[in-house]
């Protein structure tokens, strides 16, 4: 009996000897995965709390982050021969990165990007600037930094105790060379591999604007820290267009400056631009009818001005990409899907050199101001680089809100007050971005409704969403009409431009996309369906006589303000004179389609040679002015 027990114990010990090395081996193999988990947990808890751990993030991006860490681990393991050395280096780098990243977020609300490494030489200056607020900013996070350091210390200590050495020189060389090549391919992309990466990891080819991130911080939350860092780098990697010739571009611009293109003479009026959140004519729907008509005020105003059918670059969100097109005359077509220039491009040190209609107006004696109902993009610095002399974000109070956000009424009051108080005969360019009709569109958004649904073929869930949106659109139309009535009596020449930046993303309380159920967006013509998702309108009105009949019926966002400033009695840069010459041939284009001056629609791939030449020239000029000249 004793011998049997002894044998049994011996077997258990033998199994333990086998199991322990296997466990250690498994832990060593999964160590990069564990470190990636630590990185994400620390980042999310510090930038959103415990709830952020379960927030929306993309699985492909998470897998890519793990893949990158394994590549780095394999390279370090192969070079040093010891797994403990590889883990130690990764742990130290991860700790430093997370701490510095968090400190940057505390001071700027933005995470680290690769371009921040350019400031390493100025570390002393940065430390001096932040020293006075270091205690108040960093001290509350100190316990977290200590805990994080302790966790990495344990990992390093454990790996040292369970060290594995690889003496196979041939294998180490092969692994390190292969992994280094992979990393070089990933981090030195060409314009072809760049798009492939963005589509593979970030699914840019399936990108939907209504899921847009609004800061790099939210981008990192969505795509994980390491993938976010890489994604920002990809989006900001620009390659020279084919057949790029700077001298030839200068010649083209010179010819445009000397041409006698037919124009009107609108003088130097005040310009009021009402950038209405998600405004669209919902009265176009057949299966749902509202009482009264939601856009009846807009219909009346059309009789006194010009209606421009706009082709937006956005659907459902990303308002500031529309702003970028309006204010620069430049198309979003040449940037990757999901790219937001206001957030990324306008962090370049020399971006103020890039063309801007705001700056053109400033040079001609205008005062410029932009006002937000809410600035989701934290974009004050960007818009000042665009040329705005004054920036203002309105403060939400109970008395100035309607629904969830600052009301259109309050915004129109701000504009009227600006006109009443401005210096006499000092022209202004005033841009107001409204927020009242921002999603979500839930039935409890408003306590009372001026609009009712008269008839509908939809269910209650969709009806509630449409009604909430319709009330916001009704208010927008009512309030801009009130502003127009004031401007009509205003003593100085003034132009009022009212436009919807993009169509609303009509997401219901039950998770349905209402557009999938509406006949307006689901005809038998796929081209027409696509167009209708990007078709908004602009109204151009004035309190003095201008020839509305000359204003094009069809324009892209990028050419609307470009057209208007070319009719005014001001000096313009050659870039805007050349853009004006393209309107007759290619008035509107986005990443899906384009239309001609008569509004006939075509897929982007069906562009003829003449239009393709203009399209390609626009890309080259964008590269010249916004990329090459701003390095």
Neighbours of 606 (CB within 10 A): 11
Q: Contact 381/346 with Cβ under 8 angstroms?
A: yes
Report yes or no on 251 lying in a domain.
Answer: no
Task: State the DSSP H helix or E strand holding residue 26, giving kind and residue range, or none if neither.
Answer: helix 2-29
* Calpha distance 618→631 (Å, rounded): 19
Torsion of CA 446, 447, 449, 454, to 10 degrees: 90
Last residue of a domain, one of 213, 235, 257: 235
315 and 194 together in one domain: no
Domain range spanning residue 389? 267-630
Report yes or no on 131 lying in a domain.
Answer: yes
pLDDT of residue 18: 43
Enter the DSSP assignment of 167. -
Report yes or no on 68 lying in a domain.
Answer: yes
* Calpha distance 94→106 (Å, rounded): 18
Long-range contacts of 205-209 (CB under 8 A, 24+ apart): 205/337, 207/337, 207/338, 208/315, 208/316, 209/314, 209/315, 209/316, 209/317, 209/318, 209/502, 209/505
* Calpha distance 175→169 (Å, rounded): 10
151 and 229 together in one domain: yes
Neighbours of 117 (CB within 10 A): 9
* Calpha distance 337→592 (Å, rounded): 12
Q: What is the block-wise mean pLDDT of the chain (631 residues), using blocks of 10 residues?
A: 58 49 67 92 86 74 92 92 91 93 83 74 53 60 89 91 84 91 88 84 75 80 90 86 91 84 87 95 91 89 90 90 95 88 88 95 96 89 94 92 94 95 94 94 92 91 93 94 94 95 89 89 93 94 91 95 94 94 94 93 91 94 93 83
Q: Which of 262, 377, 385 is nearest to 328 (CA)?
A: 385
Task: State the DSSP H helix or E strand holding residue 252, giving kind and residue range, or none if neither.
Answer: helix 246-258
298 and 228 together in one domain: no
Report yes or no on 257 lying in a domain.
Answer: no
Q: Which of 161, 166, 165 is nearest to 24 (CA)?
A: 161
**Neighbouring residues of 581: CB distance < 8 A, sequence distance ≥ 6:** 256, 259, 261
* Calpha distance 621→572 (Å, rounded): 16
Question: Tokens for 91?
Answer: 């742990």
Report yes or no on 259 lying in a domain.
Answer: no
Helix (H, G, I), strand (E, B) or coil at 269: coil
197 and 328 together in one domain: no
pLDDT of residue 498: 96
Report yes or no on 241 lying in a domain.
Answer: no
DSSP string computed for 67-112:
HHHHHHHHHHHHHHSBHHHHHHHHHHHHHHHHHHHHHHHHHHS---
Enter the DSSP assignment of 573. -
Q: Contact 204/336 with Cβ under 8 angstroms?
A: yes
198 and 284 together in one domain: no
Report yes or no on 414 lying in a domain.
Answer: yes
pLDDT of residue 97: 93
402 and 319 together in one domain: yes
322 and 410 together in one domain: yes
CA angle at 231 for the pair 226 and 232, rounded to the nearest 5°: 105
The number of distinct structural domains making up the chain is: 2
**Neighbouring residues of 182: CB distance < 8 A, sequence distance ≥ 6:** 71
186 and 277 together in one domain: no
* Helical segments of 534-591, H only: 557-566, 574-581
Question: pTM, whole model, 2 decimals?
Answer: 0.85
Q: Contact 493/270 with Cβ under 8 angstroms?
A: yes
586 and 530 together in one domain: yes
* Calpha distance 524→543 (Å, rounded): 43
231 and 272 together in one domain: no
222 and 284 together in one domain: no
**Neighbouring residues of 301: CB distance < 8 A, sequence distance ≥ 6:** 480, 481, 484, 498, 539, 541
User: What CATH number does residue 330 fall under?
Assistant: 3.40.720.10
273 and 219 together in one domain: no
pLDDT of residue 6: 59
**Neighbouring residues of 238: CB distance < 8 A, sequence distance ≥ 6:** 623, 627
Report yes or no on 247 lying in a domain.
Answer: no
């Amino acid at each position: 009996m004793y011998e049997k027990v002894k044998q049994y114990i011996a077997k258990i010990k033998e199994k333990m000897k086998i199991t322990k090395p296997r466990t250690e081996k498994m832990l060593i193999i999964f160590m990069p995965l564990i470190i990636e988990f630590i990185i994400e947990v620390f980042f999310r808890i510090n930038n959103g709390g415990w709830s952020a751990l379960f927030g929306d993030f993309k699985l492909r991006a998470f897998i890519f982050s793990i893949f990158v860490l394994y590549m780095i681990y394999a390279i370090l393991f192969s070079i040093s021969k010891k797994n403990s050395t590889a883990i130690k280096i990764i742990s130290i780098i991860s700790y430093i990165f997370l701490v510095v990243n968090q400190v940057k977020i505390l001071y700027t609300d933005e995470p680290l990007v690769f371009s921040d490494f350019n400031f390493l030489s100025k570390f002393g200056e940065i430390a001096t600037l932040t020293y006075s607020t270091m205690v108040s900013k960093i001290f509350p996070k100190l316990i977290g930094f200590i805990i994080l350091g302790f966790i990495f210390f344990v990992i390093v200590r454990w790996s040292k105790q369970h060290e594995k050495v690889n003496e196979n020189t041939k294998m180490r060389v092969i692994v390190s060379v292969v992994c280094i090549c992979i990393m070089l391919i990933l981090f030195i992309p060409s314009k072809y591999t760049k798009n492939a990466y963005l589509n593979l990891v970030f699914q840019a080819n399936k990108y939907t604007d209504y899921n847009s991130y609004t800061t790099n911080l939210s981008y990192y939350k969505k795509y994980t820290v390491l993938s976010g860092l890489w994604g920002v780098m990809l989006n900001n990697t620009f390659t020279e267009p084919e057949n790029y010739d700077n001298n030839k571009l200068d010649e083209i611009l010179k010819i445009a400056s000397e041409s006698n293109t037919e124009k009107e003479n609108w003088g130097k009026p005040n310009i009021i631009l009402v950038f209405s959140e998600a405004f669209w004519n919902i009265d176009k729907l057949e299966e749902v009818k509202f009482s009264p008509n939601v856009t009846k005020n807009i219909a009346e105003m059309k009789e006194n001005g010009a209606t421009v059918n706009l082709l937006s670059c956005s659907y459902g969100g990303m308002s500031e990409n529309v702003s970028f097109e309006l204010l620069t005359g430049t198309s979003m077509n040449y940037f990757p899907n999901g790219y937001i220039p206001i957030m990324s491009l306008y962090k370049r040190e020399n971006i103020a050199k890039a063309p801007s209609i705001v700056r053109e107006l400033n040079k001609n004696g205008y005062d410029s101001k932009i006002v937000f109902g809410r600035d989701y993009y934290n974009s004050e610095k960007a818009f000042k680089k665009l040329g705005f002399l004054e920036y203002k974000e309105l403060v939400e109070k109970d008395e100035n809100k309607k629904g969830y956000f600052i009301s259109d009424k309050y915004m129109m009051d701000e504009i009227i007050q600006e006109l009443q108080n401005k210096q006499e005969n000092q022209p202004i360019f005033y841009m107001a971005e409204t927020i009242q009709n921002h999603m979500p569109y839930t039935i409890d958004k408003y306590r009372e409704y001026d609009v009712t649904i008269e008839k509908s073929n939809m269910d209650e869930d969709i009806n509630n969403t449409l009604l909430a949106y319709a009330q916001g659109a009704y208010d927008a139309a009512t309030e801009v009409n009130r502003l127009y009535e004031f401007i009509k009596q205003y003593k100085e020449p003034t132009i009022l431009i009212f436009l919807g930046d993009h169509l609303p993303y009509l997401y219901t309380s039950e998770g349905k996309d209402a557009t999938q159920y509406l006949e307006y967006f689901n005809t038998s013509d796929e081209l027409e369906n696509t167009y209708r998702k990007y078709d908004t309108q602009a109204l151009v009105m004035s309190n003095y006589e201008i020839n509305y009949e000359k204003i094009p019926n069809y324009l892209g966002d990028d050419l609307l303000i470009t057209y208007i400033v070319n009719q005014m009695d001001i000096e313009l840069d050659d870039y805007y004179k050349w853009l004006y010459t393209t309107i007759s041939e290619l008035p509107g284009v986005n990443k899906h389609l384009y239309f001609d001056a008569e509004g006939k629609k075509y897929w982007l791939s069906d562009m003829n040679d003449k239009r393709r030449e203009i399209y390609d020239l626009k890309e080259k000029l964008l590269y010249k002015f916004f990329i090459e000249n701003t390095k």
